[in-house]
Amino acid sequence: MSITTTLLADVSAEVFRRVHGFAADQDVRYYLNGVHLVPGRTKQQAVRMEGTNGHLLYCEEDKSAVVQAELIVSIGKRGRTLLRGSNRIKVYSDKAVHITDQSGAVLYIEPCNGVIDGKFPVIDHLVGVPADWHEGLVAPVNTGYLMQALSIPGYVRFFSRRDKEGAPDMKSSVMFIMDGGTANGGKAFGLIMPTRGQFAPDSGVDAMLPDSLVQPRAAA
């Protein structure tokens, strides 16, 4: 008796690769070790992929994707070398995960279970109301995280939140948005989670510069 499997997801391997770079690696929170595939709420909305390690989050649309239900998918190190170009990732109802070329020829089969059972964190509350974000990189950020954000090819813009009084919120996450989307035309953004700075939020430049460079303003 044969077992019939159905295709649950067909997504761009290249988009998956970019998002997977922000996922955790061997984290005890196992659901963070993969990429979250999220179908659009309507037929007009593109599928989005999400990845986070708890410090960084990256989300990108894949306009070429078809996803039937939310899934968390992981690809091993050997398979990641094939996450490029026009290759595709296909996920089946028996939890098999294949990487194929554009014609559908199978290039790689994930030897372990490529579908992670678990609940991926809901990111909606991290984004909040878009109007609350104002352009500019204000809050302190970890330079390593910033470099990873800048690894996405394209043009990037930064946004920060303001507090209730309208002043820059130094405890805010920093949002980065790919201006014009990415190579596949999908919208993309990420979040760098808050970092505790070494200087007080109201510190002036004079407090943060080397003392030998701080000069008083010349008399008028």
> How confident is the chain (220 residues) per 10-residue block, as mean pLDDT?
82 96 91 95 91 95 94 95 96 95 96 90 90 88 92 92 81 90 84 82 81 78
One domain for residues 89 and 171 = no
16 and 105 both lie in a single domain: yes
Q: State how far the Cα of 119 lies from the Cα of 35, in Å rounded to an integer.
A: 12
Looking at residue 212, the DSSP 8-state letter turns out to be G
Enclosing H/E stretch for 145: helix 143-149
Q: What is the pLDDT of residue 2?
A: 56
Please choose, from the candidates 64, 37, 63, 40, the residue with its C-alpha nearest in 3D space to the C-alpha of residue 51. 37
> Is the domain of 96 the same as that of 145?
no
The boundaries of the domain holding residue 92 are: 7-109
Rounded CA gap, 5 and 90, in Å?
12
Kindly state whether residue 40 falls inside one of the protein's structural domains: yes
> Where is 196: in which H helix or E strand?
none
Question: In 10 A of CB 135, how many CB atoms?
Answer: 11
Q: For position 200, what pLDDT does the model report?
A: 73
When divided into structural domains, the chain yields a total of 2
Quote the pLDDT of residue 59: 96
Q: Phi/psi of residue 57, each to 5°?
A: -135, 140
Instruction: Please give the pLDDT value at position 185.
Output: 67
Its pTM stands at: 0.89
CA 56 to chain centroid: 7
Examine residue 30 and state whether it is found in any structural domain, yes or no: yes
Q: Please report which helix (H) or strand (E) contains residue 14, including its range.
A: helix 13-20
The reply to whether 128 and 196 lie within a common domain is yes
- What are φ and ψ of residue 201, in 5° steps? -55, -30
**Domain identity same for 105 and 128:** no
47-52 β-sheet, strand order: 71-73, 35-38, 47-52, 56-62, 188-192, 174-178, 156-161, 133-135
Closest CA to 140 of 97, 115, 110, 171: 171
Cα angle: 53, vertex 56, 61; to 5 degrees: 95
What's the confidence (pLDDT) of residue 3?
67
Task: Please give the pLDDT value at position 145.
Answer: 93
Dist. CA 216–CA 12, nearest whole Å: 57
Residue 89 and residue 138 in one domain: no
CATH number for the domain that contains residue 26? 3.10.150.10
Q: In terms of domains, do 49 and 18 share one?
A: yes
| Cα distance between residue 22 and residue 32, in whole Å | 10
Please state, in angstroms and rounded to a whole number, the distance separating the CA atoms of residues 133 and 126: 12
